[in-house]
């Protein structure tokens, strides 16, 4: 190792919402999605489930096709680095956020089809 710093993140969680692909003015494409990760139980929250929602992004176009059929509730594994993004809002106010810049991603399990829940099949 050439330096003492490590910025390596690994998450396994449920996809929250749809994957979005945006074409940027630069001609690049950004692929974005959110992963909901449940925190370990903690007595401070009195049996309440506590989660974190983590924004994930990639500027690698191969993720556009790889994530195209993902849907809300799918279980995914994400590996990458945490980044802080800076920009100015439309009114010129500085803003920032942290997200995970994804290097690798895997679909671990597909969410149950919500259309099939509680529906009886043919006799």
DSSP string, 29-68: EEEEEEEEEEPPP-GGGTT---EEEEEEEE--THHHHHTT
pLDDT at 4 over 80: yes
46-102 pLDDT, tens digit each: 777 889 999 999 999 889 899 999 999 999 999 999 999 898 888 999 999 999 999
Burial annotation 2-18 (CB, 10 A radius, 16+ → b, else e): eeeeeeebebebbbeee
* 11 touches 108 (CB < 8 A): no
Terminal-to-terminal C-alpha distance of the chain = 63
pLDDT at 1: 59
pLDDT at 59: 92
- The DSSP element (H or E) to which 17 belongs, if any, is strand 9-23
pLDDT at 120 over 50: no
Question: What residues contact residue 27 under an 8 Å CB cut-off, 6+ apart?
Answer: none
pLDDT at 58: 95
Q: Higher-confidence residue: 112 or 101?
A: 101
pLDDT at 23 over 50: yes
- What mean pLDDT comes out for the span 95-123? 79
27-60 pLDDT, tens digit each: 888 999 999 999 887 777 777 788 999 999 999 9
């Amino acid at each position: 190792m050439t330096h003492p710093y490590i910025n390596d993140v690994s998450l396994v969680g449920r996809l929250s919402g749809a994957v979005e692909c945006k074409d940027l003015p630069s001609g690049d494409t950004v692929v974005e999605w959110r992963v909901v990760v449940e925190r370990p139980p903690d007595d401070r929250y009195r049996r309440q489930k506590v989660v974190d929602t983590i924004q994930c992004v990639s500027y690698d176009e191969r993720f556009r096709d790889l994530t195209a059929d993902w849907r809300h509730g799918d279980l995914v594994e994400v590996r990458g680095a945490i980044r802080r993004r800076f920009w100015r809002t439309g009114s010129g106010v500085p803003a920032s956020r942290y997200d995970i810049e994804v290097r690798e991603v895997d679909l671990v399990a597909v969410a149950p089809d919500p259309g099939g829940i509680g529906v009886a099949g043919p006799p």
